[in-house]
């Protein structure tokens, strides 16, 4: 497990962990009490912004496009505690490009197989070479860009609830981000090596990760709220009139 206490974090070690392993956990970045207002605003948005909410049996388990319709999220994404770490990896000028709230409950206890994150969200569809296929998620245009674009991104997963082995902590395959976009056969090869790590986090911990890092999420054994605010950052300007939009 790779993590550095926020009080003694070494920027060089942090960047090295992201470069070599594709992820790093920084515990205690935010105090639990400082997240209460954000949690309250997100809860309200889940109840009212149905266009951006993914639901099962009437209960929301994901909320997309929240950089735009939840001002508190846009403001939170600019917190110095996040930006300083992100810029140490991506360089000056990195900004939030997408934010999603994920949750799991006893009603909506979902799982995800081993995968890489391969899409970005953009404001409008513009056909460009090497960009595709396209899709719509919660009314927002998404596209698979060239692998270099995905390599420009660093995600910060801010834990609003404790997320341990019983509550479906994210599992990752260290170093898999460095292999580029993987085929199903290559994913199975990485899985067969049996070197996965469970990223257990407490409230206020932040898991920084590259989107091409292979990761999965099982069903919670003791389901409770498992809210994670997933924010993606990049310093890259998209070509051909495309604009980040999520």
Contact between 206 and 5 under an 8 Å Cβ cutoff? The reply is no
In a domain, 157, yes or no: yes
**Total of domains in the chain:** 1
In a domain, 238, yes or no: no
In a domain, 76, yes or no: yes
Residue 27 preceded by cis peptide, ω within 30: no
In a domain, 144, yes or no: yes
Tokens 């140490």 found at: 88
In a domain, 10, yes or no: no
> Of the candidates 203, 204, 160, which has an alpha carbon nearest to the alpha carbon of residue 43?
160
246 residues of the chain, pLDDT tens digit each: 455 555 556 888 999 999 999 999 999 999 999 899 888 888 776 555 555 555 544 555 678 888 888 889 999 999 999 999 999 999 999 999 999 998 887 777 777 899 999 999 999 999 999 999 999 987 889 999 999 999 999 999 999 999 998 888 999 999 999 999 999 999 999 999 878 999 999 999 999 999 999 999 988 777 778 899 999 999 999 999 999 987
Task: Give the list of residues 6+ apart from residue 14 with CB closer than 8 angstroms, or none.
Answer: 4, 24, 26, 85, 88, 89, 208
In a domain, 240, yes or no: no
In a domain, 71, yes or no: yes
Provide the domain limits for residue 78. Answer: 17-233
> pTM for this one?
0.92
CATH number of residue 128's parent domain:
2.60.120.620
In a domain, 5, yes or no: no
The rounded distance, in Å, linking the Cα atoms of 198 and 179 is: 20
> Of the candidates 92, 82, 223, which has an alpha carbon nearest to the alpha carbon of residue 157?
82
Task: Give the list of residues 6+ apart from residue 207 with CB closer than 8 angstroms, or none.
Answer: 23, 24, 25, 156, 157, 159, 170, 199, 201
């Amino acid at each position: 497990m790779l993590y550095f206490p926020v009080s003694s974090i070494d920027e060089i070690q942090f960047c090295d962990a992201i470069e070599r392993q594709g992820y790093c956990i920084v515990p205690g970045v935010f105090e639990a009490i400082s997240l209460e207002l954000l949690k309250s605003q997100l809860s309200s948005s889940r109840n009212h912004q149905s266009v951006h909410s993914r639901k099962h049996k009437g209960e929301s388990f994901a909320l997309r496009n929240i950089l735009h319709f939840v001002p508190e999220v846009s403001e939170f994404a600019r917190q110095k505690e996040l930006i300083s770490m992100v810029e140490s990896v991506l360089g000056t000028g990195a900004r939030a490009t997408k934010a999603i709230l994920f949750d799991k409950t006893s009603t909506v206890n979902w799982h995800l197989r081993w995968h890489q994150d391969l899409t970005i969200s953009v404001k409008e569809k513009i056909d460009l070479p090497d960009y595709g296929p396209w899709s719509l998620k919660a009314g927002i245009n998404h596209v698979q860009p060239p692998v270099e674009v995905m390599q420009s991104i660093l995600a910060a997963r801010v834990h609003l609830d404790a997320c341990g082995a019983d509550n479906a902590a994210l599992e990752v395959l260290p170093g898999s981000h460095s292999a580029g976009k993987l085929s199903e056969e290559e994913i199975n090869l990485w899985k067969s090596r049996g070197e996965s790590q469970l990223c257990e986090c407490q409230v206020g911990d932040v898991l920084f990760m590259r989107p091409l890092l292979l990761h999965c999420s099982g069903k919670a054994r003791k389901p409770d709220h498992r809210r994670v605010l997933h924010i993606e950052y990049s310093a890259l300007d998209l070509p051909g009139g495309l604009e980040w939009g999520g």
